[in-house]
Amino acid sequence: MQKLIRTLTCGLLVATLVTPGFASAAGGFMPYGDISKHHARDSIIRSVQAGLFAAGPGVPLFYPKRDMTRAEFLALIDRLYYGGQYQLYPLTFLSEHAEWTSGEGFDKPYLPYKDVDRLTWMYNPTLRISYVLDRLYGPNAIQQVFPGEQMHPNQPITQEEAAKILQMFVMSSDGKHAWEDIREWGWLEGEKTDRLKRGEAAVAADRLMTYLVQDTIMPLLDYDGQKFPMVPEILDVFPLFSTYTNPKSVDEEKYVNAVEAIRNHEDTDATFEDLRKLASNSFGNKIGTHFYLSWDPSTTLDLNLEEAYKAIDAYFENKIILPDTLQLLSANVYDIALQLGGKDQRQYQKVLEHLRGYEKKVKQDSKEWEALGIYIAALEVKAGQIDAALDQYRLFNSSHAEALINTTYYLIQQGRLQEAEQLVANQKPKASDSRMTQLTRLLKQDIASLKQQSEIATDLAFTLRRLDNSDSYQVKGEAVLSGFTFKYTQDIDQRNNTSRVSGFYQSPQKLVSDKLETYTDGKEQIQYSYDSDRDKWDKYKTNSLDFLHEWIAKQSAKDRLNNLQARYYKQTFGNYDIITEWIPGPVLEEKAKQVSTGRGKIKSVPLYMNKYYIDRDTDQLLQHVWRYEEIYDSDEYVAYSGTDKFDYQHAGKVSIPEEVRKGVTP
């Protein structure tokens, strides 16, 4: 049930943002004494329930008509970001556990202002947002919102300034369009120069929350190669499929206890023994007993699949139309198929044929039909029948979000971008259907960016070529490789084909850092490294690859686009162009079959993504951020991430001292 559990954890993430408070909002929960007649009341209540505003005995009033200050708004956005950060992950590369610094001596972010002090309540939220903005848009990005040495944190924030910050949550290709973008999303309703009221901020936060729990910002982006075919998110993975009231019969008690055990991961052989007895006697809930028997870890997947089928059979025998139930039962079959099938298309074909057998039992165009159809199409994809899947998805893609995303995605996969664009353009979702409305907009934006792929690759290639052609440059960087942290300055002399690295590194198993000193002779393909323990220079050949990412780095941007299915996204913000690049793992795994590296054969590539920050005036690369994960056949897991900053002024000749070449003790 890996997939289901994954969807479940997704659901949990969503839940932390939305909070279960939605239901109780109607129950008359009133966190402040001054909002009952305010038009933003419901938004304020929902925001409080989501933990966006402080409430409680010490905070009796909300002051919805007061101006919101810049610092207050940043603190609000900080909390929203915390809930929605997984949405921005493909653009920030910042995981939930990301730390600001790798430790003593490593860079710590700070604010480019003189009037927001460390030891104040506003400091950490402001710094976090500034850090995220830096990652998204380049150094000192927050200066684009609040320019100058002073941030004036206690000054009221204007609608336009708020929009510039809210822009981080939307797919916005140009920082200049912040106001228009946010207005179009409908989060703010005033005029540019209006001061944002606290009530209005709550409304914006409320709408943003809804937005964040629906579809991903770039719905067609599959940065880790795991997203497609997309299936619906299932909120309740452990239903009882019936309601039981006290007093319960012995069988009912047994059943409810079994479900409880499975839900809490406390199931034992006895749990499934009980279920088996129930399934064979006259106990009425056949859907439930078979569904949960399909979870029995001690029987084979084939038997699990049999039980999953029986649950669907029982569903149809009941003759009660419950599309959500059918969806869960189909999801269950699909999930077992994924575990059974792996990469074997025939396995999927078998399951597919079985599921198709149920099609005649549901009414065409009904919700039930869609619930089943989305998994049939997913199995078709897995069985290699993309055309058939597309036909299936198309049947209901104007009413079904996943069907629409999948149709669009697979059309584009087949090179039918125009068709995809047409399809999305033709969507006319009802205004009341907020998910489809949002999705259609997001898809349009995503397609617009997909149409520029080759252009972006050309831009990136140009910039990288400029780097390769410059006589010399200096890189200051920090990186983490398999738990080892590095901080270094690298001088690259391309005329002499030499380079020098100096800095230090910290082993995760050690308490003190060690020196990092190397010279590289590109002509002779030799690297000289200083070993501080032995106080000696060592020699290494550099003519072979150690890691797969080294091989990818040698591929041109064009080759990455054409051969490795790289996806590009370009944004413009202030003085920078920011290009983000993702290469899906499955493609790399396929291509890597011909590549041999020092680490051995590659097994899988969970992550490969880069961000390039380019100076718009000079087209020079200013900063490169990366995050790679590779798993080798030896089961060695390599995670490599870091930031390089490029400097073209402070660079010069690098000559390798004779004593280094001779390996003499310095």
Which of the residues 482 through 511 are near other proteins (CB under 8 A)? 482, 484, 486, 488, 490, 501, 504-505, 507, 509-511
- Closest separation in Å from C-beta 144 to other proteins: 19
- If one asks whether residue 656 binds other proteins (CB under 8 A), the answer comes out as no
Q: Residue 286 or residue 560: which is nearer to other proteins going by CB?
A: 560
Pick the binder of other proteins from 194, 324, 524, 550 (CB under 8 A). 550
How many residues form the binding site for other proteins (CB under 8 A)? 51
- Closest separation in Å from C-beta 515 to other proteins: 5
Cβ(215)–Cβ(438) under 8 Å?
yes
- Closest separation in Å from C-beta 67 to other proteins: 24
Encoding tokens for residue 222? 């599959």
- Closest separation in Å from C-beta 546 to other proteins: 4
Q: Residue 408 or residue 513: which is nearer to other proteins going by CB?
A: 513
- If one asks whether residue 527 binds other proteins (CB under 8 A), the answer comes out as yes
- If one asks whether residue 82 binds other proteins (CB under 8 A), the answer comes out as no
- Closest separation in Å from C-beta 158 to other proteins: 24
Helix (H, G, I), strand (E, B) or coil at 438: helix
How far apart, in whole angstroms, are the C-alpha atoms of residue 77 and residue 47? 12
Site string for other proteins, 270-309 (x = CB under 8 A): ----------------------------------------
| Long-range contacts, 66-69 (Cβ 8 Å, 24+) | 66/197, 66/198, 67/156, 67/157, 67/195, 67/196, 67/197, 67/198, 68/156, 68/157, 68/195, 68/196, 68/197, 68/198, 68/200, 68/201, 69/153, 69/154, 69/155, 69/156, 69/157
Phi, psi angle pair for 90, to nearest 5° = -60, -15
Stretch that binds other proteins, among 15-23, 84-92, 119-127, 243-251 (CB under 8 A): 119-127
Q: Is 405 exposed, middle or buried (0-12, 13-18, 19+ CB in 10 A)?
A: buried
- If one asks whether residue 105 binds other proteins (CB under 8 A), the answer comes out as yes
Stretch that binds other proteins, among 42-50, 203-211, 539-547, 609-617 (CB under 8 A): 539-547
CA 384 to chain centre: 26
Residue bearing tokens 């305010």: 38
Cβ(314)–Cβ(290) under 8 Å?
yes
- If one asks whether residue 475 binds other proteins (CB under 8 A), the answer comes out as yes
Pick the binder of other proteins from 123, 228, 316, 648 (CB under 8 A). 123
Pick the binder of other proteins from 69, 271, 347, 513 (CB under 8 A). 513
For residues 640-658, b (16+ Cβ closer than 10 Å) or e, as one string? bbbbbbbebeebeebebee
- Closest separation in Å from C-beta 527 to other proteins: 6
Cβ(537)–Cβ(660) under 8 Å?
yes
How far apart, in whole angstroms, are the C-alpha atoms of residue 631 and residue 171? 31
- If one asks whether residue 142 binds other proteins (CB under 8 A), the answer comes out as no
Helix (H, G, I), strand (E, B) or coil at 653: coil
How far apart, in whole angstroms, are the C-alpha atoms of residue 644 and residue 624? 5
Q: Residue 246 or residue 509: which is nearer to other proteins going by CB?
A: 509
Which of the residues 204 through 243 are near other proteins (CB under 8 A)? none
Q: Residue 198 or residue 549: which is nearer to other proteins going by CB?
A: 549
| Long-range contacts, 530-539 (Cβ 8 Å, 24+) | 530/666, 535/665, 535/666, 536/663, 536/665, 537/659, 537/660, 537/663, 537/664, 537/665, 537/666, 538/663, 539/663
Stretch that binds other proteins, among 157-165, 299-307, 363-371, 528-536 (CB under 8 A): 528-536
- If one asks whether residue 184 binds other proteins (CB under 8 A), the answer comes out as no
Encode 605-625 in three state secondary structure: EEEEEEEEEEECCCCCEEEEE
- If one asks whether residue 623 binds other proteins (CB under 8 A), the answer comes out as no
Which of the residues 586 through 605 are near other proteins (CB under 8 A)? 598
Encoding tokens for residue 644? 């390089």
How far apart, in whole angstroms, are the C-alpha atoms of residue 601 and residue 548? 9
- If one asks whether residue 555 binds other proteins (CB under 8 A), the answer comes out as no
For residue 59, how many C-alpha atoms fall within 13 Å in the half-sphere facing its CB? Answer: 11
For residue 195, how many C-alpha atoms fall within 13 Å in the half-sphere facing its CB? Answer: 12
Pick the binder of other proteins from 22, 29, 63, 110 (CB under 8 A). 110
Helix (H, G, I), strand (E, B) or coil at 100: coil
Q: Residue 119 or residue 250: which is nearer to other proteins going by CB?
A: 119
- If one asks whether residue 479 binds other proteins (CB under 8 A), the answer comes out as yes
Pick the binder of other proteins from 520, 565, 571, 610 (CB under 8 A). 520
Interaction site with other proteins (CB under 8 A): 104-105, 108, 110-111, 113-114, 116-119, 123, 127, 475, 477, 479, 481-482, 484, 486, 488, 490, 501, 504-505, 507, 509-516, 518, 520, 527, 529, 531-533, 538, 540, 542, 546-547, 550, 553, 598, 642, 644
